[in-house]
C-alpha cells in the first residue's frame, strides 16, 4: 500500500506550548503528541491503550523522539488536562492549511465547499458538567476537518460559528450548514470574508420560509416538480428571472431507488429580506422501496448567495448532498471507527484534546490517500513502523 505522505506534522506540533515546568520533564511534548496520533492510526482507542502499547514499540518510540521509556497513562492524563486546547486547534488548523497550500491543486471541484456542523462527545458528561460539544468545518471534497472549536455550555453554535469562520480561509469557498446556522449575522460574516453560502430554510424564519414555500406551492404536490410548466415559466420570463430544474436518480441501493430534484429561482431576489441572497430553491427527494413499491417524499427549501451563473441547479443539489460529508466521513468515523462516544474520559479539556487528535489522525490518513479508514487502521496496526513516515 503505497501512498503520498502528509506534511511534517511533528514540526508543527513542536509549536504547541508545553504547560509543564522544566524540572521533572522527562518526555518531549512533540513526541507525546506524535505518539498519540500514531497510536490512533494503529487502531488504538485511548491514551491508556496507547501508553501500554508504546512500551512494546521501542524503535517507533525512538523515531518519534523518545530517549527513554515511553510515558505511562498518568503522564498523558496529567499533561492533556493542562494543555492549551485553543492553541492546539490553531496549530492543527495551520498545519492543514499549509499542507493543502503546499500541494497546490488539492481541490479539483469547481466549487470548493465546506460543511459546518456540531457534535457532542456523549461520554464526556459528568454530574457537574455537560457533554463537550464541538463545532467543526470539513471540506466536502477532501473529507478532512479544516478547523474546530468548542461550544460553551453557556452559549450555542450560532455565536461560535463566527469564531470558527475566522479560523480558516473562507475566501472563495461555499459554506453549507444545517438550519440552525441559517442566521442573518452568519450569512453577513460569510460574505464579509468573501465566501458564499448554501443554507436550508425552515419555519424558524417564518417569513422567508413561507415566501419560498409559497413560490413553489402550486408544484409541491408533483414529483418531479413541474417547475417548467408554462405558467410558472411565464412568471419568470415576465419578471426577467432565472429558473432551472435538475433531477438526479440514484441506482438501486439497499433495496431503495431515490430520485432527487432541485429547482432554483431568482424570482424572490428583489423581495427576500436576507443578506446576499441570489437564488432560492426547492429540494425534493422521492424514495421508493423496490420490493413493496412504497414511496416517501421529502421537501426542503433553501437560499444561496451564488448567482445562477456561479451555481446551476445541479451544482446546488450536489452542494446540499455534499453537506452530509461531515456526518458520514467525520462524525461517523470518530464515533464508530475511533470509538469516540464510548470513551469515558471526562476530566477538564481532555475530551476535546482527544477529539482534536482523532481529527488529526483521520486527516493524516486522508491526506496520505487512504479513503477506507477502517482498512487503513488495520494495515498500520500490523505495520506500526510505517506510521512515522506519515507525520515526519
Query: What does the pLDDT read at residue 361?
Result: 96
Give Cβ neighbours of residue 248 (< 8 Å, ≥ 6 apart).
259, 260, 261, 314, 317
| Chain mean position to CA 311 | 22
Residues 32 and 10 sit within 8 Å (Cβ to Cβ) = no
Specify the pLDDT at position 236. 80
Residue of 96, 108, 111, 106 whose CA lies nearest to 320: 111
- Between 238 and 182, residue with greater pLDDT: 182
Cα separation, 11 vs 34, in Å, equals 10
Alpha helices, DSSP H, located in 127-242: 157-165, 184-192, 206-216, 230-238
Are 130 and 153 in contact by the 8 Å Cβ rule? The answer is yes
The owner of cell 499542507 is 99
pLDDT in tens, 244-258: 999 988 766 667 788
> What pLDDT, on the 0 to 100 scale, is given for residue 223?
45
Q: In the structure, what pLDDT confidence band is assigned to residue 224 with cuts at 50, 70 and 90?
A: very low
pLDDT for residue 112: 92
Q: Is the pLDDT of residue 41 over 70?
A: yes
**Taking all residues of the chain, what is their mean pLDDT, rounded to a whole number?**
88
Q: Is the dihedral of CA 104, 109, 110, 113 positive or negative?
A: negative
What global pTM score does this model have? 0.90
Match 521509556 to its residue by C-alpha cell: 69
C-alpha–C-alpha distance, residues 41 and 33, integer Å:
13
pLDDT of residue 193: 97
pLDDT in tens, 49-87: 999 999 999 999 999 999 889 999 999 999 999 999 999
pLDDT higher for 105 or 29?
29
pLDDT in tens, 359-387: 999 999 999 999 999 999 999 999 999 99
> Is the per-residue pLDDT at 227 higher than 80?
no
Does residue 218 have a pLDDT over 70?
Answer: no
Write down the domain spans for the chain: 9-102+350-391, 197-314
Which pLDDT value is given to residue 104? 62
Cβ-proximal residues to 184 (8 Å cutoff; 6+ apart), any chain: 274, 275
Task: Return the HEC string of 188-200.
Answer: HHHHHCCCEEEEE
- The pLDDT tens digits for 294-321 are 888 889 999 999 999 999 999 999 999 9
Amino acid at each position: 500500500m503505497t501512498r503520498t505522505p502528509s506534511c511534517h506534522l511533528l514540526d508543527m506540533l513542536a509549536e504547541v506550548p508545553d504547560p509543564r515546568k522544566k524540572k521533572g520533564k522527562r518526555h518531549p511534548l512533540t513526541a507525546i503528541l506524535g505518539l498519540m496520533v500514531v497510536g490512533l492510526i494503529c487502531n488504538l482507542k485511548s491514551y491508556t491503550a496507547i501508553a501500554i502499547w508504546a512500551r512494546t514499540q521501542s524503535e517507533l518510540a525512538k523515531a518519534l523522539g523518545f530517549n527513554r521509556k515511553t510515558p505511562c497513562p498518568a503522564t498523558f492524563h496529567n499533561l492533556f488536562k493542562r494543555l492549551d486546547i485553543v492553541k492546539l486547534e490553531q496549530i492543527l488548523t495551520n498545519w492543514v492549511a499549509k499542507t493543502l497550500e503546499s500541494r497546490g491543486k488539492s481541490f479539483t471541484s469547481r466549487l470548493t465547499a465546506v460543511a459546518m456542523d456540531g457534535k457532542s462527545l456523549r461520554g464526556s458528561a459528568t454530574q457537574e458538567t455537560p457533554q463537550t460539544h464541538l463545532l467543526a468545518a470539513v471540506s466536502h471534497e477532501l473529507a478532512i476537518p479544516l478547523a474546530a472549536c468548542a461550544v460553551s455550555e453557556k452559549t450555542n453554535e450560532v455565536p461560535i460559528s463566527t469564531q470558527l469562520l475566522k479560523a480558516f480561509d473562507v475566501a472563495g469557498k461555499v459554506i453549507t450548514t444545517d438550519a440552525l446556522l441559517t442566521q442573518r449575522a452568519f450569512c453577513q460574516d460569510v460574505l464579509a470574508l468573501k465566501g458564499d453560502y448554501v443554507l436550508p430554510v425552515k419555519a424558524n424564519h417564518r417569513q422567508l420560509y413561507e415566501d419560498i414555500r409559497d413560490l413553489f406551492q402550486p408544484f409541491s404536490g408533483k414529483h418531479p416538480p413541474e417547475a417548467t410548466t408554462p405558467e410558472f415559466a411565464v412568471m419568470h420570463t415576465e419578471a426577467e428571472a432565472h429558473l432551472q430544474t435538475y433531477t438526479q436518480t440514484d441506482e438501486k441501493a439497499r433495496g431503495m431507488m431515490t430520485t432527487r430534484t432541485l429547482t432554483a429561482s431568482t424570482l424572490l431576489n428583489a423581495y427576500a429580506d436576507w443578506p446576499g441572497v441570489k437564488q432560492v430553491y426547492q429540494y425534493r427527494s422521492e424514495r421508493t422501496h423496490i420490493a413493496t413499491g412504497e414511496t416517501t417524499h421529502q421537501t426542503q427549501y433553501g437560499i444561496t448567495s451564488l448567482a445562477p451563473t456561479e451555481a446551476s441547479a445541479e451544482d446546488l443539489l450536489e452542494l446540499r448532498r455534499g453537506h452530509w460529508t461531515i456526518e458520514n466521513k467525520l462524525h461517523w468515523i470518530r464515533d464508530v471507527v475511533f470509538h469516540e462516544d464510548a470513551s469515558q474520559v471526562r476530566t477538564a479539556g481532555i475530551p476535546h484534546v482527544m477529539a482534536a487528535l482523532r481529527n488529526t489522525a483521520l486527516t493524516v490518513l486522508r491526506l496520505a490517500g487512504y479513503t477506507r479508514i477502517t482498512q487503513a487502521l488495520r494495515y498500520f496496526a500490523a505495520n506500526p513502523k510505517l506510521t512515522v513516515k506519515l507525520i515526519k
